[in-house]
Amino acid sequence: MASNIKIRAKASNGVTTVKSLMSHEMETGLRKDKKTGEPIPAHFIQEVTAKWNDQTVMTALWSGGVSKNPYLSFKFNGGEPGDTIEISWVDNMGQSESGTAEIK
Amino acid sequence: MIDATRRTLLKGSLGAGAIGVAVGAGLLTPGAVLAAWPEAAFKAEDQAAALNELLGADATETSDAVKIKAPDIAENGAVVPVTVESDVEGVKSISIIAAGNQTPLIASFDLGENALPFVSTRIKMAKTADVVAVVQTADGLLSAAKPVKVTIGGCGG
């Protein structure tokens, strides 16, 4: 499990609520390096996929307009304690991360 | 001869690269992830153009059924919490727009079969402006807007 995606998933009354926090600079590409004046290259998560036991529940498409260290919460019908939630992302530089957690 | 074959094989698998390995490891599903990121939508400089690029339409109907929760005043424009919820049936996607940003489309969430129409995240706002949520249903686009005052702009200019 990647430590830079934190996931909390809780099932209640047939609905699972997932909260996650990802570590990422989410650089817009608009900022300039204060010392050199050079633009800091854009580096941000473009796509996030959330799965419940291998079923894709949600796909998010992001721009650099999402805040640094992105927070994401979503809900879905279903889910039992012990089921797996997986969140993975791919950024504009082709880097990717993935993390899992069990529904509580 | 065997060496040449081994060399080609090794070259081939190295050439397949990170994506190949990741696909093999089950981390990337080609359909989901290698799908094109809608660059034109995210680079569009006005809401209508962004929606057209993203959803193929820009006609939205203001609706009470789209609820936006965001602060009245955001102390830090770099981190503005936004939650969008809707009680409409058959929501396909929810998109969040910061009307005052140079490129207003911030994020779009495609909801899978079991997903509820609820998303929450934090966005960057360049200046005081409306946060607009667009909910896509089979019948069309519903939207709502909430003005958010920004004291310190968040896009880093």
Select the residue from B21, B118, B124 to test the A interface by mutation, using most A Cβ atoms within 10 A. B124
Q: Do A52 and B114 count as a contact with CB atoms less than 8 A apart?
A: yes
**Residue B157 binned pLDDT confidence (cut-offs 50, 70, 90):** very low
ipTM score here?
0.95
Nearest to A88 among B27, B118, B154 (CB): B27
Residue A50: closest C-alpha in chain B = B112
Check if B114 contacts A (Cβ < 8 Å).
yes
Q: Over range B61-86, report the average pLDDT.
A: 96
Contact A52 B120 (CB under 8 A): no
pLDDT at B20: 46
Structure tokens at B128: 């005081």
CATH of the structural domain A5-102, one choice from 1.10.1060.10, 2.40.128.110, 2.60.40.10, 3.40.50.300 = 2.60.40.10
Task: Label residue B30 by pLDDT band (50, 70, 90).
Answer: very low
- Are B120 and A74 a contacting pair at CB < 8 A? yes
**Which residue type does B86 have?**
S
Distance (Å, whole) CA B79 – CA B74: 8
Distance from CA of A79 to the nearest CA of B (A): 10
CB pair distance less than 8 Å for A67 and B122: yes
Containing B43, the helix (H) or strand (E) segment is helix B39-43
For residue A82, count other CB atoms closer than 10 A to its CB. 10
Closest CA to B141 of B40, B62, B50: B62
**How do the domains of chain A map onto residue ranges?**
5-102
pLDDT band of B32, cuts 50, 70, 90: very low
Yes or no, beta carbons of B156 and A98 under 8 Å apart: no
Q: State the burial class of residue B4 (Cβ atoms within 10 Å of its Cβ: 0-12, 13-18, 19+).
A: exposed
Verify whether the Cβ–Cβ distance B37 to A68 is below 8 Å.
Answer: no
Strands (E), B63-111: 66-69, 73-74, 80-86, 91-98, 105-111
Report chain B residues whose CB lies below 8 A from the CB of A57: 111-115
Give exposure, A23-45, as e/b (b: 16+ Cβ within 10 Å): ebebbbebeeeeeeeeebebbbb
Domains of chain B with bracketed CATH: 2-31 (no CATH), 37-150 (2.60.40.2470)
Torsion over CA: B66, B72, B77, B78 (sign): negative
Query: What is the pTM for the complete model shown?
Result: 0.85
Decide if pLDDT at B14 tops 90.
no
d(CA B48, CA B45): 9
Distance CA(B97)–CA(B45), nearest Å, equals: 11
